[in-house]
Amino acid sequence: MAREDEAHIDALLREARANAPEPTAGFMARVMDDALEVQRGFALPRAERQSRAGVIETLRTLFGGWGAVGGLVTAGLAGLWIGFMGAQQVDTVASGYWQQSENLGTVNLLPEVETVAYVDEGGF
């Protein structure tokens, strides 16, 4: 950045500081009312604070924050999806994402054993 650009930016910032808007009295009164309400909430017993927080906030605190709740929701939805679609269909969909050339679940390592099992049961 050139020196003249820095000088121009410094001049703009000085002008902005000189013409800083002041908050209105009504706005400051609303801010103070909100602050006093929050402070009154700290003085309440713990049971009253939890009842005011609501169910969602209580669950968030119980599980350890939004990150943990997000992980639980994701795992729950994945479980629902797998349960609804079935493991075979999930494998089919997942193989489309990873573009595997061979699915190791379909490799038949002992083909004779299955043939013998069909012959013994009269499967042929």
Does this model's pTM top 0.75?
Answer: no
Contact 116, 108 (CB under 8 A): no
Q: Taking residues 1-7, report their average pLDDT.
A: 80
pLDDT digits (tens, 9 = 90+) for 54-100: 777 777 888 888 888 888 899 999 888 888 777 667 667 666 666 65
Separation between Cα atoms, residue 60 and residue 65, nearest integer Å? 5
Name the CA dihedral angle for 8, 12, 18, 22, rounded to a multiple of 10 degrees: -170
Amino acid code (one letter) for 10 = D
**In the structure encoding, which two tokens stand for residue 79, read together?**
């479980």
Helix (H, G, I), strand (E, B) or coil at 7: helix
Quote the pLDDT of residue 95. 67
pLDDT tens-digit series, residues 18-66: 988 889 999 999 999 999 988 887 776 766 655 666 777 777 888 888 8
